[in-house]
């Protein structure tokens, strides 16, 4: 299969792009498209065979459920049995936007493989003009995980999707670089105290202002956490092992010296204040204190490591407040919890 890139942003040709993408989806194909978080790989959520193609193209484990994307609030009632009050408040406050709500699923409407057999499903309305236009023209819910090969960092550019899925999917709508750069916050609204299963752009602090106390699922819950199936899989990892490190120039310098003593090469992913000439490769996370910029650049930086011969990737940690919680959640997974402690 030849993967085609479909352009938007040019008024004379973009209607044809949407018509083509809608046609592909209606006829049971998958289409990659930009959202405000990362690129998604979509299929009509009621079509089991089409959804199966998503798992196939990504190499995704079957027991990891997908997020359903909608273009208008009315669509939700077709497949959600009951919308708790706090979920409605979240929808009013944050949709369209980077917030996925886990809600009780009406049986028999969506394809079974969307929810991996659970009686709940994640739903969101993306805040991106291309995604919204596509969904509103299609007028059907679209199941879409991030459009990367399973285990790799999510794509923030059409080229990342092409790199991972070239020849595996028919087309990618190229809407340029995504905004936020990290996946949506996933909030479980089916339990007594709403719980963040995956931190993202809508932070705990923002949620609590609207709905009151919110819990956070800990990464360590993952083995026993059937509610958040995706938590147990390796994620966001470049080929070289990633190590977290203290956010201090001294620690980073010592680590690089120790890596060099072992005749190995180090890639450093960090904000500008930690850029060290000793690092064999450096990928920026923007200026210090601009946490949104760090989120925006993180996946590109992790992917860039695969274009180098670095043996080890070092990433100084961020404070876990606001969007920092989402960044650290992805980094802890990318590093599989490893810290660089060195030999001395
Ligand atoms: O920003 C995003 O959310 C992107 C864009 C494309 O919308 N999508 C995305 O999908 O990140 P994915 O499949 O990569 O991540 C979905 C996450 C997984 O961790 C999955 O386990 C969790 O949501 N999830 C989905 N349905 C769930 C459910 N019913 N209960 C618990 N967790 C669920
Ligand atoms: Mg993903």
Q: Give the number of the ligand closest to the Cα of residue 145.
A: 1
Q: For residue 121, give the nearest of 131, 133, 130, 113 by alpha carbon.
A: 113
- % of the chain at pLDDT higher than 70: 94
Residue 220 has pLDDT above 90, yes or no: no
- The pLDDT tens digits of the residues spanning 38-93 come to 999 999 999 999 999 999 999 999 999 999 999 999 999 999 999 999 999 999 99
- Phi/psi at 93 (5° precision): -85, -35
Residue 219 has pLDDT above 80, yes or no: no
User: Exposed, middle or buried by CB within 10 Å (0-12, 13-18, 19+), for 320?
Assistant: middle
Mean of the pLDDT values across residues 204-225?
81
Tokens, residue 70 = 């909608």
- The pLDDT tens digits of the residues spanning 315-336 come to 999 999 999 999 999 999 999 9
* Helix (H) / strand (E) containing 19: helix 11-26
Q: Give the number of the ligand closest to the Cα of residue 150.
A: 2
Q: In this structure, which residue's CA is closest to atom 24 in ligand 1?
A: 65
User: What's the pLDDT score for residue 341?
Assistant: 87
Give the whole-angstrom CA distance, residue 81 versus residue 107. 8
What's the 66 CA to ligand 1 centre distance in angstroms?
5
Q: How confident is the model at residue 231 (pLDDT cuts 50, 70, 90)?
A: low
User: What's the pLDDT score for residue 229?
Assistant: 56
What's the 261 CA to ligand 1 centre distance in angstroms?
42
Give the whole-angstrom CA distance, residue 108 versus residue 99. 25
What is the pTM for the complete model shown?
0.95
- Phi/psi at 222 (5° precision): -60, -35
Q: Coil, helix or strand for 281?
A: strand
Mean of the pLDDT values across residues 236-243?
92
Mean of the pLDDT values across residues 207-236?
72
What's the 60 CA to ligand 2 centre distance in angstroms?
9
Give the whole-angstrom CA distance, residue 285 versus residue 273. 10
User: Exposed, middle or buried by CB within 10 Å (0-12, 13-18, 19+), for 92?
Assistant: exposed
User: What's the pLDDT score for residue 106?
Assistant: 97
Ligand 1 atom closest to residue 67's alpha carbon, by position in its atom list: 25
User: What's the pLDDT score for residue 237?
Assistant: 84
Give the whole-angstrom CA distance, residue 193 versus residue 213. 7
- Phi/psi at 121 (5° precision): -150, 150
Q: How confident is the model at residue 214 (pLDDT cuts 50, 70, 90)?
A: very high
What's the 10 CA to ligand 1 centre distance in angstroms?
31
The β-bridge partners of 66 are: none
């Amino acid at each position: 299969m030849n993967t085609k890139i479909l352009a938007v942003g040019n008024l004379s040709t973009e209607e044809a792009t949407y018509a083509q993408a809608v046609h592909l989806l209606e006829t049971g194909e998958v289409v990659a498209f930009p959202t405000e978080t990362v690129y998604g790989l979509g299929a009509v959520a009621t079509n089991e065979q089409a959804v199966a193609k998503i798992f196939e193209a990504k190499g995704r484990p079957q027991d990891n459920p997908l997020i359903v994307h909608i273009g208008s609030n009315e669509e939700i009632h077709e497949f959600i049995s009951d919308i708790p009050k706090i979920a409605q408040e979240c929808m009013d406050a944050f949709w369209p936007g980077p917030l996925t709500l886990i809600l009780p699923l009406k049986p028999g409407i969506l394809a079974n493989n969307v929810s991996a057999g659970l009686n709940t499903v994640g739903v969101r309305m993306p805040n991106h003009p291309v995604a919204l236009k596509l969904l509103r023209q299609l007028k059907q819910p679209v199941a879409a995980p991030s459009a990367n090969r399973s285990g790799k960092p999510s794509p923030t550019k059409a080229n990342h999707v092409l790199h991972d899925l070239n020849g595996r999917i028919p087309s990618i709508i190229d809407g340029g670089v995504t905004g936020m750069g990290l996946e949506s916050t996933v909030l479980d609204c089916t339990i007594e105290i709403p719980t963040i299963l995956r931190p993202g752009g809508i932070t705990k602090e923002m949620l609590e202002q609207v709905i009151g106390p919110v819990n956070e699922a800990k990464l360590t819950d993952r083995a026993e956490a059937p509610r958040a199936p995706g938590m147990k899989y390796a994620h966001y990892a470049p080929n070289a092992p990633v190590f977290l490190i203290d956010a201090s120039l001294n620690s980073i310098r010592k680590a690089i010296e120790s890596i060099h003593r072992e005749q190995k090469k180090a890639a450093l992913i960090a904000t500008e204040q930690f850029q060290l000439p000793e690092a064999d490769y450096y990928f920026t996370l923007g200026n210090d204190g601009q946490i949104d910029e760090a989120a925006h650049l993180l996946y590109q930086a992790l992917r860039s490591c695969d274009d180098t011969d670095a043996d080890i990737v070092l990433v100084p940690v961020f404070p876990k407040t606001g969007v920092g919680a989402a960044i650290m959640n992805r980094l802890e997974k990318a590093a599989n919890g490893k810290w660089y402690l060195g030999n001395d």
